Amino acid sequence: MTRVYVERSPFICIATSDLSGNCDLSPRGDPVGFVRILDDRTLLIPERPGNRIADSLRNMLANPHIGVLFFVPGVSDTFRVNGRATLITDEALLEPSAVEGKVPRLGILVDIDEAYTQCSKAFLRSHFWDSARHIDPSTMPTGGQVHRAIQGAHFDADGYDHERSERYKRREGFY
């Protein structure tokens, strides 16, 4: 029964930590069902181009313990998996994860230790899926504005936002 959460999820969050316990939580998203079920105890998460910081990947090399939270739009229950991660480059395993003709160069194999659903209370209390309560994105700071706040007034926030918007329009770096 729980397989349907994996099969219908277009969005997950991956939790990792290094050997010192420093944590990282990283979102991943792709077409519905992008996380592949290889068998009852193994998942494959394709690794797509990202921000190149690779905190999660470095953590997995040092400490293989991983938590994965699966979201299905409009569904208030979530599905949680805890296990051990292994980074792979096996083209035969990665080929079925191709999107827009591009095969990921790297994948995350998750050997499942435990898996269970998480109750709906957080989503119900937050009204997360209620579109009437969605915030107008223009009222939030942009990525460029956040970078300028962190890096200082010399950072070109408008240029950063414009260049990123253009790359996203072209889907550059998505796959």
Whether residue 174 lies inside any domain: the answer is no
Contact present, 69 and 12 (Cβ < 8 Å): yes
Task: Give me the number of domains the chain comprises.
Answer: 2
107 and 156 co-located in one domain: no
- What does the pLDDT look like over 21-45, one tens digit per residue? 999 999 999 999 999 999 999 999 9
18 and 71 co-located in one domain: yes
Give me the domain span that covers residue 139.
135-169
Residue 36 CB partners (closer than 8 Å, separation 6+):
43, 44, 96, 97
Contact present, 30 and 10 (Cβ < 8 Å): yes
pTM for the whole thing? 0.91
Whether residue 115 lies inside any domain: the answer is yes
44 and 114 co-located in one domain: yes
- What does the pLDDT look like over 118-147, one tens digit per residue? 999 999 999 999 999 999 999 999 999 999
102 and 160 co-located in one domain: no
Backbone angles phi, psi at 122, to 5 degrees: -65, -45
7: CATH: 2.30.110.10
The model's confidence at residue 51, banded by pLDDT at 50, 70 and 90, is low
